[in-house]
């Protein structure tokens, strides 16, 4: 099976960007969900309840969808056809856990410093 170079590049790009963003934002480390109604900067946006409800629901679904997104990116980066029937949820979760494990190992092996002056949030 020949690999599609465009799909490979796109998959690597998506994988890099998604993991970088999730790592920098500490999204996966969050234990408590944000209650946007308590943040003063968002009070004027609370008038649009439909948008607020949609965004809240989207964030909640994103936590559930992460394994599926990671699996699809892995399929695309390998140039494979994505199956559309009989998805094994347990297998997808195992593959996602393996991806996270490999990512953490690669991250731990990199010795680098940052120029960022802002302290990390606790």
pLDDT of res. 94: 79
DSSP letter assigned to residue 85:
S
Residue-by-residue pLDDT tens, the chain, 122 positions: 344 444 455 566 666 666 666 666 666 666 666 666 677 766 666 556 666 667 667 666 666 666 666 666 666 666 666 666 666 777 777 777 787 788 788 777 776 666 666 666 66
How many of the other CB atoms lie within 10 Å of CB of 23? 14
DSSP letter assigned to residue 80:
P
Q: Are 33 and 61 in contact (CB under 8 A)?
A: no
Residues 6+ apart with CB under 8 A from 64: none
Q: Are 96 and 121 in contact (CB under 8 A)?
A: no
């Amino acid at each position: 099976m020949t690999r599609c170079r465009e799909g490979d590049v796109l998959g690597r790009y998506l994988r890099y960007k998604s993991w970088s963003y999730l790592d920098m934002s500490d999204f996966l480390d969050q234990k408590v969900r944000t209650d946007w109604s308590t943040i003063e900067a968002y009070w004027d946006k609370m008038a649009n309840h439909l948008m607020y409800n949609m965004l809240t629901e989207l964030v909640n679904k994103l936590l559930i969808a992460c394994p599926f997104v990671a699996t699809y990116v892995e399929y695309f980066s390998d140039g494979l056809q994505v199956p559309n029937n009989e998805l094994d949820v347990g297998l997808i979760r195992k593959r996602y856990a393996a991806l996270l494990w490999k990512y953490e190992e690669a991250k731990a092996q990199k010795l680098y410093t940052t120029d960022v002056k802002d302290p990390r949030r606790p």
